[in-house]
Amino acid sequence: MKNVLMATAATLLATSAMADVNIGNPMAMTGPIPDLNAPIAAAVDLAATHVNAQGGMFADGEAFNVIRADSACDPTAAVDAVTKLINVNGVSAIVGPVCSGATIAQAESVAIPAGVLTLSVSASSPAISTMEDGTDLVFRAAASDAYQGVALAELAMANGYSDIAVSYANDDYNAAIAAVFVEAFEGMGGTVTANEAHEPNKASYRSEVATMGGTSDNLALFSYYGSGGITLMRNALETSAFTNFIGADGMLSDELIEQIGAENLMTSTFTTSASDASTPSFAAWAALADEAGVPASDPFVANGYDATFMMALAIEHAGSDDREAIAASLRAIASGPGEVILPGQWAEAKAILAAGGDINYEGAAGNQDFDENGDVAGNFSKSTIVDGAWAAELIQ
């Protein structure tokens, strides 16, 4: 009898687990950007909390579970993590990864062949736009660097930089945005005096700095702060090789201030994906984030919330967590026509979908209308040091 009861209990548990909706969430918990990753992960969890607190999934209120794995901002680690999420955990879709190289590798090697949708929270390499051939399984909630690289070049020109040296880490993300920046800057009439790759995680970059130093007072630095960016910048400052620094979100961190000193960053500007704080959708998001202790305006935090909330909406719209149906439903819930749904409005969306209506999610990070490549337009901000801390301003 004991064995029968145990078997019955095991069957009930298995049935309950199968009834839940499980999505995979490969995040850069370790690697070069853990500080950037942490609040994004908190936003992912907050979105799941809102779904479960307002009725859960489908008519029976199944749980919406986020199963997290460490992609480490590394292609190999991402492939390993997503392989387990899909083949062992049996997730229906992927929200993440954070980094472009990790996103591309897991999608090409694992997710696309398995027919599993990927919705990255922040991967921005232009290569992602054209990586699919006949499928519609890779999306992202943050804008491509095809846009950010141009915005950064415009900012450099606005700052009065007629010439600039460029140093970029030899990885998918940083090499791609550097290439966009160089093309845009030169197209605007600027002169690129040096354009050099550097390998991540070196103990010193004095030789690289010496090669570029003296060619310009200005350096465009594309690197992750935790895998060599801080070291290269420190070497450049120690040798007075450059006066002004500009770059993208891989360098935007409090650790840079802690390691370099705010007083040494007064001529530094870094851009990142941003939200328009004047919109009703951001106001709704900010109220929810503030209540939960999540930094609403930190880089890609709003995007992390949007990606998770949209994935839940897409699965609800599909009527099941069948992998094949989710991609078409993702497009359906993110664009008009339909009743506008703001961050946190799960109960409202659920009721409309149950009645056969259409919804149009307006995200915390802005409009989430996907183009044919699964890209969104997005907004960008520039961050400079004010009173010893980073202060962001939306780029108009």
Give yes or no for residue 9 having a pLDDT over 80. no
Instruction: Assess whether 135 and 156 both reside in one domain.
Output: no
DSSP, collapsed to helix, strand or coil, labels residue 342 as: coil
Instruction: Assess whether 42 and 136 both reside in one domain.
Output: yes
- Does a structural domain hold residue 395? no
- Burial string for 123-147 (b: 16+ CB within 10 Å, else e) reads bbbbbbbebeeeeebbbbbbbbbbb
How far is Cα 227 from Cα 224, in angstroms, rounded to an integer? Answer: 6
- Does a structural domain hold residue 373? no
SS3 letters across 131-195: CCCCCCCEEECCCCHHHHHHHHHHHHHHCCCCEEEEEEECCHHHHHHHHHHHHHHHHCCCEEEEE
Per-residue pLDDT, averaged over 165-191, amounts to 96
Q: By the 8 A CB rule, do 225 and 251 touch?
A: yes
- 319 or 4, higher pLDDT: 319
Q: Which residue has the tokens 């690129």?
A: 192
Kindly report, residue by residue over 68-127, the tens digit of the pLDDT.
999 999 999 999 999 999 999 999 999 999 999 999 999 999 999 999 999 999 999 999
pTM confidence score: 0.86
Kindly report, residue by residue over 327-369, the tens digit of the pLDDT.
899 999 999 899 999 999 999 999 999 999 999 999 999 999 9
- Does a structural domain hold residue 319? yes
- Does a structural domain hold residue 384? no
Instruction: Assess whether 37 and 124 both reside in one domain.
Output: yes
- Does a structural domain hold residue 185? yes
Instruction: Assess whether 231 and 330 both reside in one domain.
Output: no
Point out the domain boundary residue: 235, 266, 297: 266
**Which CATH number goes with the domain that contains 304?**
3.40.50.2300
Point out the domain boundary residue: 208, 240, 266: 266
Instruction: Assess whether 215 and 293 both reside in one domain.
Output: no
Instruction: Assess whether 252 and 353 both reside in one domain.
Output: no
- Does a structural domain hold residue 104? yes
Instruction: Assess whether 150 and 118 both reside in one domain.
Output: no
Residue 16: per-residue pLDDT:
40
Residue 19: per-residue pLDDT:
75
Give yes or no for residue 14 having a pLDDT over 70. no
Instruction: Assess whether 201 and 158 both reside in one domain.
Output: yes
Per-residue pLDDT, averaged over 214-238, amounts to 96
- How many domains does the chain fold into? 2
Q: By the 8 A CB rule, do 159 and 269 touch?
A: yes
Instruction: Assess whether 108 and 174 both reside in one domain.
Output: no
CA torsion through residues 176, 178, 179, 184, sign:
positive
Give yes or no for residue 318 having a pLDDT over 90. yes
Instruction: Assess whether 135 and 150 both reside in one domain.
Output: no
Percent of the chain with pLDDT over 70: 95
Confidence of residue 10 (pLDDT cuts 50, 70, 90): very low
- Does a structural domain hold residue 353? yes
Give yes or no for residue 17 having a pLDDT over 80. no
Instruction: Assess whether 256 and 313 both reside in one domain.
Output: no
Q: By the 8 A CB rule, do 122 and 273 touch?
A: yes
Instruction: Assess whether 185 and 208 both reside in one domain.
Output: yes
Domain extent for 174: 146-266
How far is Cα 396 from Cα 387, in angstroms, rounded to an integer? Answer: 23
- Does a structural domain hold residue 3? no
Q: Which two tokens stand for residue 339?
A: 């009743």
